[in-house]
Amino acid sequence: MNIIVVGLSHKTAPVEIRERLAVPESRLGEALSRLCSYPGIREGIVLSTCNRVEVYAVVEQLDSGYARVQEFLADAHLSLSSEQLTPHLYWHADDRAICHLFRVAASLDSMVVGESQILGQLKDAFEVALAHKSSGVILNKVVKKAISVAKRVRTETKIAETAVSVSYAAVELAKKIFSNLREKTVLLVGAGEMAKLAATHLIANGVQHVMITTRDPHNALDLAKRFHGVSIPFDEFRSEMAAADIVLCSTGSSHYLIRTEDVQRAVRQRMNRPIFLIDISVPRNIEPSVKDVDNAFLFDIDDLEMRIEQNREERQGEAVRAERMVEDEVGVIGQWLKSLEVIPTIVALRNRAEEIKRSELDKTLGRLGTLSLQERGLVEGLASAIVNKLLHGPLVTLKEEAHSAGGTMFVEAARRFFNLDDPTTSAPLDEAERTDRLDHPEPLITPVQVSGCTALEPQSKQGTSDEDA
Amino acid sequence: MGASVMLFMTTMGLYLVGTVFFLAYLLHRSEALSKVSLAVTGIGFVSHTAALATRMMAAGNVPLTSFYEAMSFFSWALVLVFLGVEVRHRIHVLGSFILPLALLSLLSAAALPKEVPTLEPVLRTVWVHVTLSMLGTVGFAVAFVAGIMYLIQDRLLKSKRFNVLYTKLPPLDFLDKLNQQAIVTGFPLLTLGIIAGAISAEFARGSYLNWNPEQTWALVTWLFYFVVLMGRLTVGWRAKRAAYLTIIGFAGVVLTFIGVVLKGHGPVT
């Protein structure tokens, strides 16, 4: 059994590839069900943001697990063959997969090291996985640990103080076009998390007029209230665009919402005053040829990354500390994972022994005829004592060796000596048990924690809901 | 006059050093160079002011009757405008563009005869024409510099090249506003300068205008800037278009000057 991650990110794939692989939130559940239907995949989480598409999975076998997940990714978009995809993918297993997840959560792998959106996005992805029961014992524990590591990194290092996010880059660019943001108007198209953050940032930097449009008018009204702005009907925003100095676009639409001719018209109406367009959507929502329109300045997510790249070095010092923290935490979770593998073995071993004892007792007691209650007790006690004495050694050894390098070997040996993998005697994590475990989590995952996660950030959920519209 | 020429040469040397520092500042990430550049420019400006004052005392009138004086005054006013903008907005990088221009006009002044011309009494007021025209031209020069900076920043933003120059150049709309301000100030001054010139000509030659090539070219330039200004105020000829137009316009101004100087005409338009 291995934990693996297969995916691609802004570091390995251009936006053209990422936008094709991105899974809209509305289809995430379906994707998770599909992922778990592959043989050998026990648990799965899909993290799909504009900067990365990653699949975390618990698989029975490493090689076939990699193959299945890659198959899953290639199947997600029919126009992408597995061959086209491979050069952009990375694969990690076990400690390295966990380390990758922790680094992603702690924003050490982000475009802007230290930005905070990724944590929210991971929480959302986890929540969907929980709702669809695709995340089980192992991923639950690992993802929760990732979230707590990320929080620790944020509070104990200065990584988040200098780096804010893509929104920081957006503000910086805006300040190279407009000297005074105070008199400027920003138009928010869609309510993606990043766009909202960027809008918040722009407002913090002086922007006073905000126009909001979303497909769901209620959403726009809510946001208008939040940003003290005005909401605009979605089908009219193109004609209102001329009033905006900054257009922030982040929707889940799969086609271009703002075309070159819309921008040309807006620039004409603005009498050539510059207009700054930021497209944070993946797939992109603003036609790329807008960049050729005079006095219109279009930046997509990759452009922002480029801008951010230069600032990255300054943050390296803090990042090094954070990396060390991540390493420690990976060690901690690694220990837990090893012991986890031992626990089902111990349980299975006890069940097996109990089963044998029971059946032998039944046979013997049947032959002995009528016994007094005391005699019966003595016979049963004898059987239990033999079984317990016999099991004591192996159980203690298993527990002790769980944390050693050869821990898995002992587990494997115990399973074979006692024939624990016989389907009639033990059924590690079959479909029924997985469901059962999720419904009745093991003590390691307390119900409180689970409910805590399902209640994560209702606001952000609300905010992204129109992305899929 | 000796002192004046010496101060003039000192100024030229200081502007040369200032230009070198300002160009180095443009290409290096460090902000420290701007302090040196500004200090050198400031001293140069003081020396320049002293040179002009010395000359004025020597001549007994406003030193704006010869081309040499006109070019020197132009350079002085340009640096004055730069220092003014610098004090208000702290846009050091403007110096990297304006100071070379100031140096260039001083160098061209140095190539011209430096003696104070003796003027016929009717031409005593010609300095009004020259001063106003020169101040107008300073406006166009600033617009020209703002236009060049605008186009560079526009290009850098469009091609997403976030280099040192990008970080140093001011926001686009600041440059556009500077461009507008420069034209809005420069154009009326040039207009008054041309009127003053016409009046002087009427006194000197008995005709406001005799349609010689320089006068015609000057009027074409005036008309050009009139159209540029009206275009901006009415149909939105701003931003990139304004930048291009003001660059073309200033090229016209420079050509007029060269034409006038080469023909060896008097200071009167």
Q: 3-class SS at A281? A: coil
User: Are residue B145 and residue B257 in the same domain, yes or no?
Assistant: yes
Question: Could you read off the pLDDT of B95-137 as tens digits, one per residue?
Answer: 999 999 999 999 988 887 766 555 556 566 778 888 898 999 9
Q: Hey, is the C-beta of B152 within 8 angstroms of any chain A C-beta? A: no
Least Cα distance to A124 among A105, A102, A99 occurs for: A105
The last residue of a domain, from among B118, B148, B163: B118
Say which amino acid occupies A349. L
> What's the mean per-residue pLDDT of chain A?
81
Beta bridge partners of A186: A210, A246
User: Are residue B47 and residue B106 in the same domain, yes or no?
Assistant: yes
Whether residue A124 is contained in a domain is answered as yes
User: Are residue A156 and residue A211 in the same domain, yes or no?
Assistant: no
User: Are residue A60 and residue A117 in the same domain, yes or no?
Assistant: yes
Among the residue ranges A6-10, A112-116, A228-232, B23-27, the one predicted with the least confidence is A112-116
pLDDT of residue A448: 31
User: Are residue A215 and residue A201 in the same domain, yes or no?
Assistant: yes
Which pLDDT band, with edges at 50, 70 and 90, does A247 fall under? very high
The secondary structure of chain A in percent helix, strand, coil, rounded to multiples of 5, reads 60, 10, 25
User: Are residue B178 and residue B114 in the same domain, yes or no?
Assistant: no
Q: How far is A260 from chain B (nearest CA, A)?
A: 15
Place of tokens 């452009």: A303
Chain B residues touching residue A178 (CB < 8 angstroms): 171-173
Whether residue A34 is contained in a domain is answered as yes
Quick check: A297 and B166 CB within 8 A?
no
Structure tokens at A345: 């073995």
User: Are residue B22 and residue B52 in the same domain, yes or no?
Assistant: yes
Task: Give Dmax over CA atoms of chain A in angstroms.
Answer: 106
Quick check: B236 and A294 CB within 8 A?
no
Nearest to B171 among A175, A291, A306 (CB): A175
Asked if the model's pLDDT at residue A144 lies above 70, the reply is yes
Q: Classify residue A27 by its DSSP letter.
A: G
User: Are residue A149 and residue A278 in the same domain, yes or no?
Assistant: no
Quick check: A176 and B153 CB within 8 A?
yes
For residues B268 and A248, what is the distance between their CA atoms, to the nearest angstrom? 57
The last residue of a domain, from among A290, A310, A330: A310
Q: Hey, is the C-beta of B237 within 8 angstroms of any chain A C-beta? A: yes
Using the Cα atoms of residue B203, residue B207, residue B209 and residue B210 in order, give the sign of their dihedral: negative
pLDDT of residue A461: 33
User: Are residue B3 and residue B73 in the same domain, yes or no?
Assistant: yes
Q: Is A50 a catalytic residue?
A: yes
Q: Hey, is the C-beta of B265 within 8 angstroms of any chain A C-beta? A: no
Structure tokens at B13: 């040397």
User: Are residue A19 and residue A96 in the same domain, yes or no?
Assistant: yes
Q: How far is B122 from chain A (nearest CA, A)?
A: 48
Say if CB A86 and CB A7 are below 8 A apart. no
Whether residue A334 is contained in a domain is answered as no
Using the Cα atoms of residue A195, residue A254, residue A267 and residue A231 in order, give the sign of their dihedral: negative
Q: Hey, is the C-beta of B114 within 8 angstroms of any chain A C-beta? A: no
User: Are residue B255 and residue B134 in the same domain, yes or no?
Assistant: yes
Least Cα distance to B66 among B14, B108, B16, B34 occurs for: B108
* Across A346-359, average pLDDT: 89
Nearest to A272 among B166, B169, B238 (CB): B238
Say if CB A389 and CB A381 are below 8 A apart. no
Whether residue A232 is contained in a domain is answered as yes
User: Are residue A280 and residue A214 in the same domain, yes or no?
Assistant: yes
Nearest to B160 among A178, A179, A303 (CB): A303
The number of CA neighbours under 13 Å toward the Cβ of A99 is 13
DSSP state letters, A342-396: HHHHHHHHHHHHHHHHHHHHHHHHHHH-S--HHHHHHHHHHHHHHHHHHHHHHHH
Asked if the model's pLDDT at residue A469 lies above 80, the reply is no
pLDDT of residue A346: 86
Which pLDDT band, with edges at 50, 70 and 90, does A299 fall under? very high
Q: What is the CATH number of the domain that holds A32?
A: 3.30.460.30
Asked if the model's pLDDT at residue B85 lies above 90, the reply is yes
User: Are residue B157 and residue B189 in the same domain, yes or no?
Assistant: yes
User: Are residue B99 and residue B153 in the same domain, yes or no?
Assistant: no
* Active-site residue, from A50, A99, A249, A453: A50
C-beta atoms surrounding A385 within 10 Å: 10
More confident: A31 or A444: A31
Nearest to A179 among B173, B237, B241 (CB): B173
User: Are residue B67 and residue B194 in the same domain, yes or no?
Assistant: no
C-alpha radius of gyration, chain A, whole number:
28
Q: Measure CA A252 to chain center.
A: 18
Place of tokens 């009206």: B230
Chain A residues touching residue B160 (CB < 8 angstroms): 299, 303, 306-307
User: Are residue B188 and residue B107 in the same domain, yes or no?
Assistant: no
Which of B162, B175, B232 is the best substitution to test chain A (most A C-beta atoms within 10 A)?
A: B162
More confident: A459 or B20: B20
pLDDT of residue A55: 95
Whether residue A280 is contained in a domain is answered as yes
Q: How far is A96 from chain B (nearest CA, A)?
A: 35
User: Are residue A158 and residue A190 in the same domain, yes or no?
Assistant: no
- Kind and range of the H or E run holding A41: strand A41-48
Q: What is the CATH number of the domain that holds A246?
A: 3.40.50.720
User: Are residue A154 and residue A189 in the same domain, yes or no?
Assistant: no
Q: Hey, is the C-beta of B171 within 8 angstroms of any chain A C-beta? A: yes
For residues B18 and B156, what is the distance between their CA atoms, to the nearest angstrom? 26
- Kind and range of the H or E run holding A47: strand A41-48
Q: Measure CA A119 to chain center.
A: 8
The last residue of a domain, from among B118, B134, B169: B118
The number of CA neighbours under 13 Å toward the Cβ of B72 is 31
Among the residue ranges A69-78, A182-191, B54-63, the one predicted with the least confidence is B54-63
Max avg pLDDT among A229-238, A338-347, B171-180:
B171-180
User: Are residue A107 and residue A174 in the same domain, yes or no?
Assistant: no
pLDDT of residue B114: 66
The last residue of a domain, from among B99, B118, B137: B118
For residues A12 and A8, what is the distance between their CA atoms, to the nearest angstrom? 6
User: Are residue B140 and residue B256 in the same domain, yes or no?
Assistant: yes
The number of folded domains in chain A is 2
User: Are residue A9 and residue A137 in the same domain, yes or no?
Assistant: yes
The last residue of a domain, from among A310, A340, A373: A310
User: Are residue A74 and residue A131 in the same domain, yes or no?
Assistant: yes
Asked if the model's pLDDT at residue A426 lies above 90, the reply is no
The residue segments making up the domain with residue B102 are 1-118
For residues B76 and B50, what is the distance between their CA atoms, to the nearest angstrom? 11
Question: Could you read off the pLDDT of B25-84 as tens digits, one per residue?
Answer: 988 877 778 899 999 999 999 999 999 888 888 877 666 777 788 888 999 999 999 999
**Residues of A299-336 as b/e, b for ≥16 C-beta within 10 angstroms?**
bbbbbbbebbeeebeebeebbeebbebbeebbeebeee
CB pairs under 8 A between A and B: 53
User: Are residue B145 and residue B106 in the same domain, yes or no?
Assistant: no
Structure tokens at A413: 């040996």
The last residue of a domain, from among A310, A325, A347: A310
Chain A residues touching residue B236 (CB < 8 angstroms): 270-273
Quick check: B237 and A272 CB within 8 A?
yes
Beta bridge partners of A212: A188, A231
pLDDT of residue A442: 36
The residue segments making up the domain with residue A105 are 2-163+453-468
Whether residue A190 is contained in a domain is answered as yes
User: Are residue A96 and residue A217 in the same domain, yes or no?
Assistant: no
Whether residue A322 is contained in a domain is answered as no
Whether residue A175 is contained in a domain is answered as yes
The number of folded domains in chain B is 2
With a pLDDT cut of 70, the percent of chain A lying above it is: 84
Asked if the model's pLDDT at residue A213 lies above 50, the reply is yes
